[in-house]
């Protein structure tokens, strides 16, 4: 294949010589000019007539988008998806978002700057760039200043370009040919690359796993394990009774709740269920029943659970007539106080769960005692 000249490169001694050559040759307007310098030369962009790069605007936009993403992400996690009150602070405390906000802003901005410049604006990698075939490329990274003339349009007269470069003071001139396109990658090479990648991943994974297994806690990480702390279910010298886990202080109650007023069943029978008989309430009741009650009373509340024989005591058949007419308040009361072999659910269920259980029990009873009108 005949080699076709793609550009002519002239080498200059100093930035000043380069700048004046650019000015002279640009005035002729026959070529498109490209400068190659070992460091940024002030004035070269203006001399070449380059437009302002859009990179700064791209970085500003993507950085702002990063900040917005980080903010929305944290706002959504903390106030919508998993709102936990920490130390009485509002769930949406923007001050706590700042470190992540900063990091993500920098991340977006840095990736935009790096990848946008290399891939988008400079279209790299470019294996057919004429400079790749140049013998002076190394000098251009040290102390020479290059100016390449490429055809602006039409056929390229390399001889004329060469003469023009010498005329404006180039100390050496080189005709650059378009390098041959790189050979297509062989399937074998691809396979080797994939296998190598997989092997590297495996080595990294196993290496990490075994490093953590063999050296789980080296200082300073071990200090996290060794500092004095309370472990539930473990003894502790901190409290008088030697236990790590402590019962609540007697008389404490959750904020926003009145203490349970009833000591007797007669009092409880006058309490009204504060929750509406709504689908959501029944769902909550079913969940609590299946979790906490079905094991003894059976899934249908008929007192026939799978465990009853092993268990010994006789859980009440809540489908019997006595319980069909039992007030919600008394069911609630039983859950607060417990009864013989049945424990109290005063602390293991919430107020709403106890009241929604009363509703759900009604639904179970109605299902087992359906009336004619239920079928219509």
> Is position 357 an interface residue for ligand HEC (rule: CB under 6 A)?
yes
> Is position 3 an interface residue for ligand HEC (rule: CB under 6 A)?
no
CA triple 64-65-71, angle to 5 deg: 90
Listed in sequence order, the residues at least 6 apart from 258 whose beta carbon sits closer than 8 Å to its beta carbon are none
Max intra-chain CA distance, the chain: 115
Report the candidate in 332, 8, 366 with the shortest Cα–Cα distance to residue 175: 8
Token duo for residue 82? 């998993």
Subset of 55-114 contacting ligand HEC (CB under 6 A): none
How many residues touch ligand HEC under the rule CB under 6 A: the total is 18
> Is position 268 an interface residue for ligand HEC (rule: CB under 6 A)?
no
Provide the minimum distance between the beta carbon of 100 and ligand HEC in the complex, in angstroms, as a whole number: 42
Provide the minimum distance between the beta carbon of 314 and ligand HEC in the complex, in angstroms, as a whole number: 6
Q: Which of the ranges 56-64, 101-109, 241-249, 333-341 carries the binding residues for ligand HEC, by CB under 6 A?
A: 333-341
> Is position 315 an interface residue for ligand HEC (rule: CB under 6 A)?
yes
Q: Which of the ranges 45-53, 105-113, 240-248, 339-347 carries the binding residues for ligand HEC, by CB under 6 A?
A: 339-347
Report the residue from 1, 247, 310, 313 that binds ligand HEC according to the rule CB under 6 A: 313
- Where do runs of H (alpha helix) occur along the chain? 15-28, 44-48, 55-76, 98-115, 137-140, 158-167, 187-214, 222-226, 265-268, 279-288, 294-297, 308-311, 321-324, 328-337, 351-368, 372-375
Q: Which of the ranges 97-105, 124-132, 293-301, 363-371 carries the binding residues for ligand HEC, by CB under 6 A?
A: 293-301
In degrees and rounded to multiples of 5, residue 32 shows phi and psi of -100, 135
Provide the minimum distance between the beta carbon of 333 and ligand HEC in the complex, in angstroms, as a whole number: 8
Provide the minimum distance between the beta carbon of 271 and ligand HEC in the complex, in angstroms, as a whole number: 14
Provide the minimum distance between the beta carbon of 278 and ligand HEC in the complex, in angstroms, as a whole number: 19
Token duo for residue 340? 């013989």
Provide the minimum distance between the beta carbon of 324 and ligand HEC in the complex, in angstroms, as a whole number: 11
CA triple 211-216-217, angle to 5 deg: 130
Which stretches of the chain bind ligand HEC, using CB under 6 A? 292-293, 295-297, 313, 315-316, 318, 331, 334-335, 339-342, 345, 357
């Amino acid at each position: 294949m005949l080699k076709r000249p793609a550009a002519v490169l002239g080498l200059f001694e100093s930035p000043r010589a380069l700048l004046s050559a650019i000015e002279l040759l640009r005035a002729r307007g026959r070529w498109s000019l490209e400068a190659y310098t070992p460091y940024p030369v002030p004035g070269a962009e203006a001399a070449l007539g380059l437009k302002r790069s859009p990179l700064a605007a791209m970085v500003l936009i993507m950085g702002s988008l990063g900040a917005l993403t980080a903010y929305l992400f944290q706002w959504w996690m903390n106030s919508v998806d998993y709102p936990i009150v920490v130390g009485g602070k509002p769930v949406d405390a923007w001050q706590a978002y700042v470190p992540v906000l900063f990091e993500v802003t920098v991340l977006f901005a840095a990736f935009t700057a790096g990848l946008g410049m290399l891939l988008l604006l400079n279209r790299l990698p470019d294996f057919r760039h004429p400079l790749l075939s140049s013998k002076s490329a190394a000098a251009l990274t040290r102390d020479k200043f290059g100016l390449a003339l490429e055809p602006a349009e039409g056929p390229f007269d390399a001889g004329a370009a060469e003469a023009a470069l010498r005329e404006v003071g180039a100390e050496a001139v080189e005709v650059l040919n378009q390098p041959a396109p790189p050979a297509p990658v062989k399937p074998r090479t691809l396979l080797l690359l994939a296998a190598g990648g997989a092997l590297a991943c495996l080595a990294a994974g196993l290496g990490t796993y075994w490093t953590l297994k063999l050296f789980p806690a080296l200082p300073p990480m071990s200090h996290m394990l060794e500092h004095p702390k309370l472990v539930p279910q473990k003894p502790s010298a901190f409290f008088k009774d030697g236990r790590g886990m402590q019962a609540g202080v007697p008389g404490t109650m959750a904020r926003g709740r009145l203490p349970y007023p009833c000591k007797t069943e007669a009092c409880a029978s006058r309490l009204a269920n504060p929750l509406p008989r709504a689908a959501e309430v029944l769902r909550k009741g079913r969940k609590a029943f299946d979790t906490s009650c079905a094991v003894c009373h059976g899934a249908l509340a008929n007192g026939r659970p799978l465990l009853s024989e092993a268990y010994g005591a006789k859980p009440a058949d809540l489908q019997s007539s006595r319980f069909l007419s039992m007030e919600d308040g008394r069911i609630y009361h039983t859950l607060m106080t417990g009864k013989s072999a049945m424990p109290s659910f005063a602390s293991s269920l919430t107020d709403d769960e106890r009241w929604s259980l009363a509703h759900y029990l009604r639904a179970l009873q109605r299902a087992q005692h359906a009336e004619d009108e239920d079928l219509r």
